[in-house]
Structure 1
């Protein structure tokens, strides 16, 4: 094993052996999940209802996708 790889492996062993590191990681993850920061949503997607459907249709058709509106789920071919 070369020297750099040995150094990396030793640091990993030390980190894994440390009980405090595991608890610290758990606390950090818990804190991050508790914050639950909102994800980045593009401004163009911040529309509702028919405007959102129109945006989806426009973007889908821009990449040669066919969009067909249905009145109910029952109209979906199985």
Structure 2
């Protein structure tokens, strides 16, 4: 069963409390999403470390319940 966008957002916010999260359903099927995650806590982290933090917040759902996630991370301006 696909994940809802609000569930993805909630998991990310739970794992990264200072995050601003924008989720877009790319295919309209609840299975292919884009996420833009901005967090001050990313400051000083490499882009790879930022993305790993998001994947950790998703708790292993990538590749299973959540089939595809186009992920962009950033630090607030």
Q: What's the TM-score bracket when you normalise by the shorter of the two chains?
A: under 0.3
Larger Cα-atom Rg: 1
Greater relative contact order, per chain length (Cα 8 Å cut-off, separation 6+): 2
Return the TM-score normalized by structure 2.
0.25
TM-score, length of structure 1 as denominator length: 0.24
Q: Is the strand fraction higher in 1 or 2?
A: 2
